[in-house]
Amino acid sequence: MNTLDDLDRRIVQCTQTGLPLVPEPYRQIAAELGCTTEIIMARMQHMLDNGIIRRIAAVPNHYTLGFRGNGMSVWDVDDDLVEDYGRRIGELEFVSHAYRRPRYLPEWRYNLFAMVHGKDRAEVMEKVNRIAVMLGNDNRAHEVLFSTRILKKTGLRIGQS
């Protein structure tokens, strides 16, 4: 486990809303934090190598790009099979996230979650059906939960302690 030092935390705080849109973004971060560009680049490369930074990238907004039907599909799969199926479902191009999560029997039986994106609900359901076909008899039950309203949305505030 890698622990962050004070400079790493300041880099996180300085960049968590985005990378500066200037020709030399790492130099600008360095200027704000009062150190050299080389140190900033080395620290960020290190955080990238050890997975603290997942990647430096553009995150498309599915909704404004026309993918208006986002469904949280939840699946009841045998605990021994969930890892294998989770991996295969995570590789599908219409799935953005797939996770194993705990069940709460009897109220909540589902242990595999996959976010499915499509142009509308019908397309989401068609894609969910493709997952159902892949799982075959190993799919003991599934549901799709569509969001009906955003009740709150703030950026994750991380690295503040």
Partner 1 sequence: MDRIDRAIINRLQESFPITDRPYQQAAEELGIQEDELIRRLKVMLEKKQLSRFGPLYHAERLGGGLSLCAIRVPEDQFERVKEQVNAFPEVAHNYARDNEFSMWFVLATETPQRIDSVIREIEQSTGYRVYNMPKEEEFFVGLKFEV
**Interface with partner 1 includes 97 (CB under 8 A)?**
yes
Residue type, 12: V
Nearer to partner 1, 1 or 133 (CB): 1
Site string for partner 1, 125-144 (x = CB under 8 A): ------------------x-
CA–CA separation, 98 vs 39, rounded Å?
35
Asked whether 76 and 104 are in contact (CB, 8 A), the reply is: no
Asked whether 131 and 73 are in contact (CB, 8 A), the reply is: yes
**Interface with partner 1 includes 108 (CB under 8 A)?**
yes
Q: In angstroms, what CA-CA distances link 119 with 17, 62, 66, 148?
A: 28, 9, 6, 16
Q: In angstroms, what CA-CA distances link 61 with 58, 70, 141?
A: 10, 12, 30
**Interface with partner 1 includes 98 (CB under 8 A)?**
yes
Q: In the window 63-82, what residues touch partner 1 (CB under 8 A)?
A: 64-65, 72, 82
Nearer to partner 1, 26 or 76 (CB): 26
**Interface with partner 1 includes 17 (CB under 8 A)?**
yes
Q: In angstroms, what CA-CA distances link 95 with 8, 39, 117, 125?
A: 32, 37, 6, 13
Nearer to partner 1, 137 or 161 (CB): 161
Nearer to partner 1, 84 or 126 (CB): 84
Judged by CB under 8 A, which of 34, 80, 102, 137 binds partner 1?
102
